[in-house]
Structure 1
Amino acid sequence: MSKGSTPQASSVTSKRFYDAYARGYATYLERHTRYFRAVEKEIAAAAGNRQGLALLDVGTGTGERLQRVVSEIRPDHVAAIDESPEMAALAQSNCPGAQVLAIPLAAPELPAALSVRFDLVTCLSNVLGHIPRTQLVPGLRQIRDLLKPGGAFVFDVNNRYNAVTYGRLSVIRNVARDRVRPGGGDFTASYRDGDAVFHTPVHLFSPSEVARLLRESGFKVASLGFRDYVTGQERGRFGGSIVVKAVSA
């Protein structure tokens, strides 16, 4: 870019955003390593010592986290999906033992494309916050139907009451707004790629919204906690991202 020039900004879909972000995603992963490791320990605990375990990762991104999880729990079958073909290609390279599909959650063709049911489904780094609101409950119901009886769904989402990340004043406003009009809210994620700047809306969840969505989708909450988005340490509801383990109701 020439000195003094202004990058071109555009609002894009989540798919287009992550196609561009695929090249710079490693920096984001490095910045939150301790948080990711803490969540991955919860995934390993949810897997337990099941024999012949089948794992599905929804919104797998680059597949680097999936490969770490696979190395830890050693499932017999691994599948992953991502709506971004660029991310799916990276995931297939980083986790070569997985069946990686460039298909979005809630796509009608997804169950047939996967062909099996799973003991464990993961959905990490606020992937659910990128799914259109009209597709969120259908997508969660699809995950429920893809689970075997007794299977577990582990996911994390951005907490709109996280004062450490968003600041006290923003959280106070969010709490007040949610008392009048529940349903969480959105912010705009940005990524600069050369001369272009991409923007995409991302949803921020409240803990009660997460519980409600799970109920509507046929899940029940087995555990719901909060972890600092940098250190991974357990925090209260105003100090971290939301980490959930859910099972079929």
Structure 2
Amino acid sequence: MSDDRRPHKFSEGQGLNEDYDEFTLDPPELKIDPTKVDPVDSHVLTDLLDERNITQDDVDVQSLIDVGLSYMQINRFEEATEAFARAAQFAEDDSLDEQEAWVNKGAAHAQLEEFDEAIGAYQEALRIDEDSEHAASAHTNLAYALWEWGHTEDALEHAERAVEVDPRFPQAWYNRGFFLSERGLYEEAVNAYDNAIRLGERNVNILEEKALALEELGREEEAEEIMERAEEMREEAEREMVEEY
């Protein structure tokens, strides 16, 4: 597997309504800029919400999820876990909103390499519904977290389940290919990588993983072509980064 870590999939959210100020990223009532919060204080958002004694009826859960997603986008993962925990707490029991909050909470923990907590969050999301719009992400993320935790057998099981729930989810196919390669099932792995690529998962990592599987199958010429493509993609990304900065 490449040294570059694959991010866990989290939801895109619905965006904050301009007229809604209860849980925006920096509402006047909270007077907090997440980019300036001391990173060692991961309970700032939680403490401020507690001080306001907010009840479930007062909370727009999707807006609170968007707060967590905003933290994710600026790599403030500890604060994100707190926001998603609150979203799960205030969401209707066993609702899609609660499930989305748990999936995102797992993704935030995974970014912190807190895989035990991530696994627990994904399992809670799947307890709510194993076939919903968020279930494929939960299965995919759980598979990767289990692999990081050393439970490789269970990882493949959830990777398989992810593509069953949503066969058009490219990251699910990518993970399935990786875990199949880990078990020496290289032909099936290549097919899974091809599905992921067709569905839009085009990056250096997946090309390198596919090339390694092809090498194991003795298809060296194909593997070499794909590795060259991966190197071109990496060089292009480096050029864009230099131009940007």
The verdict on a shared fold, with TM-score over 0.5 as the criterion, is no
More helix by share: 2
How high is the TM-score relative to the length of structure 1? 0.25
For CA contacts below 8 A with separation 6 or more, give which structure has more relative contact order. 1
For the pair shown, the structure with the greater C-alpha radius of gyration is 2
